[in-house]
Amino acid sequence: MSHNKIIVTIALAVTLNISKAHNMETVKHEAGNHNPEALFPGNLSGIAATDPELAAAFDNFVSGEVIPCGDLDNRTRLMAILASTIACQAPCEYRMMLGAALDAGITPVEAKEILYQAVPYVGISKVSAFIHATNEIFTGRGIALPLEGQSTTSPETRFERGLAVQKEIFGDRIENNYRNSPENQLHIQRYLSANCFGDYVARGGLDLKTREMLTFSMLLSLGGCESQLKGHIQGNVNMGNDKDFLLAVVTQLIPYVGYPRALNAIACLNEVIPE
């Protein structure tokens, strides 16, 4: 067994604990989007022997109720979970999910861009360990590093390009933010344009629609970011991610973030996009 597979197996045993044998006996799903085996191929629960009731309850909920709910494809589901595990600071879960994501066809560039997208929203102090874990997994799979660069800006263009991306996502709100910012806080608006959006969101490898979904997943997983979450709910809608889609993302993240943060996210959804 390769080093990478050992890591993934250990991570699964400690965290997600998908019981293949139990699931295959109790829950049958069609192949594709609603098939837990497509997400977690060949994995056996690591705690079924010591905590069989917990393993059964978790496995039945994820496989029998969460995965079949909504219309997210496996790639989108796994991207959202990867973003969430970074924000939740769950490295063991992240390692296992990254292996599943690569097996599901998410490219190394896409996986790295999820990490880079996390830097301005989660902070480099929390993301750096996941970058090292990703590099280790990539190396174990024979993926050459560094990957092809995805930056679309230079020191001279990052502000204008970032501002343009902000306006593409959020529209006139950005001009209002600049106009209404106190003078002693205007530098934060410039940082958002040049750094957050110019250095990171404007990168290649993922489109803006996907990046807004990832940001939504990170902010709801962080908790305490409801003001920003509501802004990015509108950004998602502007990019074509409607309420049903975002509700499906929240649903898929419930097992990983818990109900309080999921319910907060739903409250924000209902405020921004009333029923």
What pLDDT is attached to residue 183? 97
Closest to 68 (Cα-Cα) out of 39, 93, 44: 39
Low-confidence ranges of the chain (pLDDT < 70): 1-46
What pLDDT is attached to residue 38? 53
> Do 53 and 91 contact (CB within 8 A), yes or no?
no
Q: How many CA atoms lie within 13 A of 236 on its CB side?
A: 27
What pLDDT is attached to residue 34? 55
**Rounded to whole angstroms, what are the CA distances from 124 to 86, 118, 119, 133, 152?**
11, 8, 5, 14, 20
pTM across the whole model: 0.86
- Say which amino acid occupies 226: E
| CA 261 – CA 259 distance, rounded (Å) | 6
> Do 203 and 113 contact (CB within 8 A), yes or no?
yes
| CA 14 – CA 64 distance, rounded (Å) | 21
- Concatenating the DSSP letter of every residue in 228-242 gives HHHHHHHHHHHHT--
Work out the number of other CB atoms within 10 angstroms of the CB of residue 130.
22
| Assigned token pair, 12 | 């699964």
- Say which amino acid occupies 15: T
Helix (H) or strand (E) holding 137: helix 124-140
Give the CA diameter of the chain: 64
| Assigned token pair, 275 | 């029923």
| CA 12 – CA 193 distance, rounded (Å) | 39
Phi first, then psi, for residue 204 (nearest 5°) are -80, -170
What pLDDT is attached to residue 30? 37
Closest to 227 (Cα-Cα) out of 186, 195, 271, 189: 271
What pLDDT is attached to residue 261? 98
What pLDDT is attached to residue 40? 52
